[in-house]
């Protein structure tokens, strides 16, 4: 268990002070994969760096497995830090060392013997799928491979916690997915708690079971991914959700009008928030409100047992019945907007 208790951090630059973290409280259970999401400058990196005391918080406690890291002396802190791995956006590998030597570095610093280093590095390179690259130098690796080396290095001292600072931000989408899968695999196989910071909701959705949202140095929301998406009216959360309008297919767009006229039906875009299953929603529209409909587009995903996403529906009932359906959306806090009539 990691308990972040009332952490604040102020930076001073040219006699100006800036509060990067403001009384942040957070509990992280062992085995969780927690995503910390926030805009640029929100304080994500500062928070993650406070957890292993790369930044010393102004006040508050960082309690890791029962010990408050802010109260430890230098050698005690060094010992605790060994059990907290960290990876970075730009990998931070040593270019003059081979893949094997990069991964071996923490073990060498720890004065491990050669036999142990050989066995451990071989095992770690196997976990990250890079046994065949042991003798390569970082310059000959792809971004994804470099991050795998960095992950292997971060695991060298058998950490219980892995901190990931924008670990996939420099990678393309496919490589991002493979690194996220590797992190999930490590979390499950090695029972390592993972804390990752990102500005991408897709990263959070891909692997995190808990989410914390940080804005201007304050924790503005935290909970399971399902809960965060369920209570999605917070402006910062909305900023991270795909709130762009759906594209209306060209056949509908051609005849789209802004006013209701005879023979035209409203195109209603809805945002599913987990309160109503899409299957039940369309069933209600048809059977309860007796409104025929067309599903023009739908981008729906299940997270846990709840569905989220968007759909564009054409309601083909009479004006009163269509209005009843829209009222039903409003009652269930389903964001909706009439995009036009076609």
| Residues at the site binding ligand ATP, with contacts judged by CB under 6 A | 11, 13, 18, 20, 38, 40-46, 199
Q: 178 with 207: CB under 8 angstroms?
A: no
Q: How far is the CB of 162 from ligand ATP (least distance, A)?
A: 17
- Which is closer to ligand ATP, CB of 21 or CB of 296? 21
CA distances from residue 132 to 116, 123, 140 in whole angstroms, order as listed = 19, 12, 13
Q: How far is the CB of 86 from ligand ATP (least distance, A)?
A: 14
Which tokens hold the place of 227? 């809960």
Q: How far is the CB of 87 from ligand ATP (least distance, A)?
A: 15
Calpha distance 103→9 (Å, rounded): 32
- Which is closer to ligand ATP, CB of 40 or CB of 95? 40
Q: 313 with 268: CB under 8 angstroms?
A: yes
- Which is closer to ligand ATP, CB of 49 or CB of 120? 49
| CB atoms closer than 10 angstroms to residue 151 | 24
Q: How far is the CB of 216 from ligand ATP (least distance, A)?
A: 9
Which tokens hold the place of 170? 């420099």
Q: How far is the CB of 16 from ligand ATP (least distance, A)?
A: 9
Q: How far is the CB of 48 from ligand ATP (least distance, A)?
A: 8
- Which is closer to ligand ATP, CB of 90 or CB of 297? 90
Q: How far is the CB of 88 from ligand ATP (least distance, A)?
A: 11
- Which is closer to ligand ATP, CB of 20 or CB of 103? 20
CA distances from residue 202 to 71, 82, 148, 293 in whole angstroms, order as listed = 37, 30, 20, 30
CA distances from residue 251 to 256, 260, 322 in whole angstroms, order as listed = 9, 18, 22
DSSP 70: G
The four Cα atoms 72, 76, 79, 84 give a dihedral, to 10 degrees, of: 0
76 Cβ contact list (under 8 Å, min separation 6): 67
- Which is closer to ligand ATP, CB of 215 or CB of 271? 215
CA 99-100-103 angle, to 5 degrees, is 85
Calpha distance 179→176 (Å, rounded): 5
- Which is closer to ligand ATP, CB of 24 or CB of 180? 24
CA 337-341-342 angle, to 5 degrees, is 135
Query: Sign of the CA dihedral 221, 225, 226, 232?
Result: positive
- Which is closer to ligand ATP, CB of 199 or CB of 321? 199
User: In 101-178, where do the E strands start and end?
Assistant: 161-165
- Which is closer to ligand ATP, CB of 234 or CB of 332? 234
Q: How far is the CB of 213 from ligand ATP (least distance, A)?
A: 11
What is the C-alpha radius of gyration for the chain, rounded to an integer number of angstroms? 25
Q: How far is the CB of 46 from ligand ATP (least distance, A)?
A: 3
């Amino acid at each position: 268990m990691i308990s972040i208790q009332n952490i604040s951090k102020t930076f001073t630059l040219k006699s100006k002070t800036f509060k990067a973290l403001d009384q942040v409280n957070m509990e992280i259970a062992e085995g969780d994969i927690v995503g910390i999401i926030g805009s640029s400058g929100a304080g994500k990196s500062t928070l993650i760096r406070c957890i292993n005391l790369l930044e010393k918080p102004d006040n508050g406690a960082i309690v890791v497995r029962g010990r408050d890291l802010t109260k430890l002396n230098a050698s005690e802190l060094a010992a605790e830090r060994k059990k907290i791995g960290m990876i970075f956006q730009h990998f931070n590998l040593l270019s003059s060392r081979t893949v094997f030597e990069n991964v071996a570095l923490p073990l060498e610093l720890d004065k491990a013997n050669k036999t142990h280093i050989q066995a451990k590095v071989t095992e770690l390179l196997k976990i990250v799928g890079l046994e065949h690259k042991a003798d390569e130098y970082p310059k000959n690796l792809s971004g994804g491979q470099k991050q795998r080396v960095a992950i292997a290095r971060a695991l060298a001292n058998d950490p219980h916690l892995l901190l990931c600072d924008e670990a996939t931000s420099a990678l393309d989408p496919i490589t991002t997915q493979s690194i996220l899968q590797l992190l999930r695999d490590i979390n499950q196989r090695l029972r390592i708690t993972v804390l990752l910071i990102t500005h991408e909701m897709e990263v959070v959705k891909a692997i995190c079971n808990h989410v914390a949202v940080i804005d201007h140095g304050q924790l503005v929301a935290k909970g399971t991914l399902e809960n965060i998406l369920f209570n999605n009216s917070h402006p910062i959360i909305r900023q991270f959700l795909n709130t762009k309008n759906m594209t209306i297919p060209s056949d509908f767009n051609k005849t789209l009008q802004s006013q209701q006229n005879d023979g035209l039906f409203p195109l209603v875009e809805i945002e599913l928030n987990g309160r109503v299953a899409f299957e039940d929603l369309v069933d209600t529209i048809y059977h309860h409100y007796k409104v025929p409909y067309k599903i023009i587009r739908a981008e729906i995903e299940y997270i846990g047992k709840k569905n989220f996403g968007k759909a564009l529906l054409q309601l083909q009932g009479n004006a009163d019945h269509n209005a009843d359906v829209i009222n039903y959306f409003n009652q269930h806090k389903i964001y909706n907007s009439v995009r036009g009539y076609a």
